[in-house]
């Protein structure tokens, strides 16, 4: 199974013609500290997860020159089932499929694909909450991130807080509503990943701090 | 191309040259002078002036090409402003889908503009949408904060769609001057924005006595009066070039528009203060959001429109 991006130009065209104009006109973007996004790999970018559009939003923040290096992680048990969805997720989005639960009897390493991408010098996008969960509420982070970071010491982990899609297109809704989307990009997390719990907590704290920088207003 | 050249006649070309001269002068002050004197320019001022080039260019191009393009441009401004407003205000999750109905008011309203149905243009948002929205909100079954939701949604529509839409309606008024609707639109936008800038510059240069320190600490009497005098002067000077206004009408408007624009500016400042933000968004470099740029225009547009509709078009209509 080859994980290399088969049609990088297809993805670049898709983002230039469809994704960026749609996000800009249909929603509108407010980005803080865009200069902190890594432009060279390997790097791990982690964000909170509210909506399927989160991946497109994160990818659209990168420069076109960097985009070919950026690989989001996608759950194979969700996106890998139907052939068409599988193909689009792999080639149009450029995702790496992750087996969240290895099949019975197998002892596969779910992080192997991500490790290989980092060794190829790519930038991977992770949603360590593992699920979209409640709109605009951050779930506890899964430990996979800390495992991955421990395996690749020296690879920067950059947290990004996203906000707005929980209102514009939350889980379970198919009708998007035009509302501004916000992203705030943090500095690389300094904590030592060999202490799994402390590292995860440091990432969580940084995500919450970045999220507090973003506008938020709700009555319920 | 012929239509663009056609609209340039009747004085529009003179006013556009004046705008171009203002932009060049601003760029000399913000970028050329610092470079000649070998000192670093003010980054915020440079961003502001460059954004003015883009905004003025887009506006002038849209207005000159064609009536339909001009109306579509104002409609798009309404959309951006409403989106910014709806993203800013507190909302109930249950009202998410109702927001699509709120957006639907935009094409509806601009349809009345395009077809020149003045009666519908003037009644649909203030009456029918005003009655329909609370009904639709009631259907969600959520009653907590019901009154807040219906009031804030309609308030935003009144400003960003109804009030701003008057700019587009200027384009479909029957021409009483060779410059036509384009002249009227150019006139109110130029006088308002020029007043804004003159007020800002005079305030920076001479400002001492604050007018409303609790709402907008940067607004001073010196800035306000400087803006008023500059805009009134401009309003009287360019009125015969692109509008059918006589000298007295131009003087009244020249004094009224900067005052009304100032009221719009500080009113939106009060809203932003209530919501705890400094700028409505960061869409326009150096300026903030679209609402920060058109706050005064949302107030001057209907005042200008109804002034000329009553005093200039009234006698013609009979």
Domain spans, chain A? 8-213
CB proximity A175 to B under 8 Å? yes
Q: Which of B79, B81, B83 has the most A C-beta neighbours within 10 Å, making it the best mutation to test the interface with A? A: B83
CB within 8 Å of chain B, chain A residues 145-164? 164
Residues whose CB is less than 8 angstroms from the CB of residue B53 and which lie 6 or more positions away in sequence, other chains included: B23, B27
Residue of B nearest to A168 (CA): B96
pLDDT band at B113 (very low <50, low <70, confident <90, very high): very high
Q: Map residue A48 onto helix, strand or coil.
A: coil
pLDDT at B1 over 60: no
The pLDDT tens digits for A159-209 are 999 988 888 888 888 889 999 999 999 998 888 888 888 888 888 899 999
pLDDT at B54 over 60: yes
Instruction: Say whether B149 and A173 touch across the interface (CB within 8 A).
Output: no
Distance CA B39, CA B31 (A): 10
pLDDT at A1 over 50: no
Distance CA A173, CA B232 (A): 52
pLDDT at A211 over 70: yes
Residues whose CB is less than 8 angstroms from the CB of residue A109 and which lie 6 or more positions away in sequence, other chains included: none
Residues whose CB is less than 8 angstroms from the CB of residue A89 and which lie 6 or more positions away in sequence, other chains included: A74, A79, A80, A95, A97
Distance CA A74, CA A76 (A): 6
Mean pLDDT to the nearest integer, B107-111: 97
Smallest CA–CA distance, residue B142 to chain A, in Å, is 11
Residues whose CB is less than 8 angstroms from the CB of residue B175 and which lie 6 or more positions away in sequence, other chains included: B181
Is-contact B157 B129, C-beta < 8 A? Answer: yes
Instruction: Say whether A28 and B90 touch across the interface (CB within 8 A).
Output: no
Smallest CA–CA distance, residue B81 to chain A, in Å, is 11
Residues of chain B with pLDDT > 90: what percent?
A: 75
Mean pLDDT to the nearest integer, B110-124: 96
Residue of A nearest to B91 (CA): A218
Q: Which member of A28, A170, A220 has the closest CB to residue B83? A: A28
CB proximity A105 to B under 8 Å? no
Query: CATH top-level class for A8-213?
Result: alpha beta
Predicted pLDDT of residue B208: 86
Chain A residues touching residue B145 (CB < 8 angstroms): 219-220
Predicted model pTM? 0.90
pLDDT band at B105 (very low <50, low <70, confident <90, very high): very high
Smallest CA–CA distance, residue B113 to chain A, in Å, is 23
Predicted pLDDT of residue B106: 97
**How far does chain A reach from its first CA to its final CA, in angstroms?**
47
Predicted pLDDT of residue B299: 97
Is-contact B234 B226, C-beta < 8 A? Answer: no
Predicted pLDDT of residue B204: 87
Smallest CA–CA distance, residue B305 to chain A, in Å, is 29
Smallest CA–CA distance, residue B183 to chain A, in Å, is 29
Residues whose CB is less than 8 angstroms from the CB of residue A121 and which lie 6 or more positions away in sequence, other chains included: A40, A41, A42, A69
Q: Which member of B96, B100, B275 has the closest CB to residue A167? A: B96
Distance CA A167, CA A178 (A): 9
The pLDDT tens digits for A135-171 are 677 777 777 888 888 888 888 999 999 988 888 888 8
pLDDT at A122 over 50: yes
Predicted pLDDT of residue A95: 86
Instruction: Say whether B93 and A135 touch across the interface (CB within 8 A).
Output: yes
Q: Over the range B291-310, which residues count as b (16 or more CB within 10 Å of their CB) and which as e?
A: bbbbbbbbbbbbbbbebbbe
Tally the C-alpha atoms within 13 A of residue B255's C-alpha that lie toward its C-beta: 5
pLDDT band at B217 (very low <50, low <70, confident <90, very high): confident
pLDDT at A217 over 70: no
CB proximity B145 to A under 8 Å? yes
Q: Which of B87, B103, B276, B289 has the most A C-beta neighbours within 10 Å, making it the best mutation to test the interface with A? A: B87
pLDDT at A38 over 80: yes
The sign of the torsion formed by the CA atoms of B107, B111, B113, B119 equals negative
Q: What mean pLDDT value characterizes chain A?
A: 84
Chain A residues touching residue B100 (CB < 8 angstroms): 175, 177
Angle at the Cα of A132 (from A127 to A138), degrees rounded to 5? 75
Distance CA B261, CA B137 (A): 33
Instruction: Say whether B88 and A164 touch across the interface (CB within 8 A).
Output: no
pLDDT band at A65 (very low <50, low <70, confident <90, very high): confident
The pLDDT tens digits for A71-84 are 998 887 778 788 88
Predicted pLDDT of residue B275: 87
Instruction: Say whether B92 and A30 touch across the interface (CB within 8 A).
Output: no
CB proximity A174 to B under 8 Å? no
Quote ipTM for the complex: 0.84
Predicted pLDDT of residue A50: 82
The pLDDT tens digits for B254-293 are 999 999 999 999 999 999 998 888 888 878 888 888 999 9
Residues of chain A with pLDDT > 70: what percent?
A: 94
CB proximity A208 to B under 8 Å? no
Distance CA B64, CA B70 (A): 7
CB atoms within 10 A of CB A65: 9
Backbone angles phi, psi at A216, to 5 degrees: -150, 130
């Amino acid at each position: 199974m080859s994980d290399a991006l088969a049609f990088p130009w297809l993805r670049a065209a898709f983002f230039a013609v469809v994704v960026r104009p749609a996000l800009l006109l249909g929603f509108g973007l407010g980005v803080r500290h865009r200069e902190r996004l890594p432009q060279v790999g390997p790097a791990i970018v982690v964000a909170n997860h509210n909506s399927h559009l989160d991946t497109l939003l994160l990818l659209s923040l990168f420069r076109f020159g960097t985009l070919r290096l950026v690989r989001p992680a996608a759950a194979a048990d969700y996106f890998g089932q139907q052939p068409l969805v599988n193909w689009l997720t792999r080639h149009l989005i450029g995702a790496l499929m992750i087996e969240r639960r290895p099949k019975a009897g197998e002892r596969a390493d779910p992080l192997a694909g991500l490790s290989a991408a980092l060794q190829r010098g790519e930038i991977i996008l992770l949603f360590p909450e593992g699920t979209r969960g409640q709109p605009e509420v951050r779930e506890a982070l899964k430990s996979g991130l800390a495992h991955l970071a421990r395996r690749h010491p020296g690879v920067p982990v950059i947290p990004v807080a996203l906000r707005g899609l929980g209102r514009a297109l939350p889980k379970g809704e198919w009708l998007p509503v035009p509302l501004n989307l916000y992203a705030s990009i943090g500095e690389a997390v300094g904590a030592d990943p060999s202490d799994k719990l402390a590292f995860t907590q440091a990432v969580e704290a940084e995500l919450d701090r970045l999220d507090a920088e973003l506008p938020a207003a709700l009555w319920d | 191309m012929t239509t663009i050249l056609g609209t340039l006649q009747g004085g529009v070309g003179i006013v556009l040259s004046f705008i171009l001269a203002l932009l060049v002068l601003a760029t000399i002050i913000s970028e050329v002078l610092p470079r000649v004197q070998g000192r670093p320019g003010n980054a915020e001022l440079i961003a502001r002036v460059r954004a003015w080039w883009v905004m003025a260019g887009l506006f002038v191009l849209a207005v000159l090409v064609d009536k339909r393009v001009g109306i579509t441009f104002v409609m798009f401004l309404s959309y951006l402003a409403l989106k910014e407003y709806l993203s800013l205000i507190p909302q109930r999750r249950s009202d998410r889908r109702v927001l699509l109905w709120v957006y639907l008011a935009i094409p509806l309203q601009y349809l009345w503009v395009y077809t020149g149905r003045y009666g519908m243009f003037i009644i649909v948002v203030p009456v029918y949408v005003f009655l329909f929205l609370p009904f639709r909100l009631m259907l969600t079954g959520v009653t907590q904060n019901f009154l807040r939701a219906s009031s804030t949604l309609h308030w935003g529509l009144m400003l960003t769609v109804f009030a701003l839409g008057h700019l587009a309606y200027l384009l479909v008024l029957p021409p009483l001057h060779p410059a036509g609707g384009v002249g009227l639109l150019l006139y109110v936008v130029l006088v308002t924005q020029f007043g804004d800038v003159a007020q800002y510059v005079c305030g920076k240069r001479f400002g001492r006595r604050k007018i409303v320190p609790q709402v907008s600490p940067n607004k001073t009497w010196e800035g306000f009066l400087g803006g008023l005098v500059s805009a009134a002067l401009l309003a009287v000077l360019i009125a015969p070039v692109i509008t059918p206004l006589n000298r007295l009408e131009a003087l009244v408007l020249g004094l009224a528009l900067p005052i009304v624009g100032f009221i719009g500016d500080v009113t939106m400042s009060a809203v932003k203060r209530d919501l705890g933000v400094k700028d409505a968004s960061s869409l326009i470099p150096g300026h903030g959001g679209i609402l920060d740029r058109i706050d005064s225009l949302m107030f001057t547009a209907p005042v200008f429109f109804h002034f000329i509709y009553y005093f200039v078009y009234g006698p013609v209509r009979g």
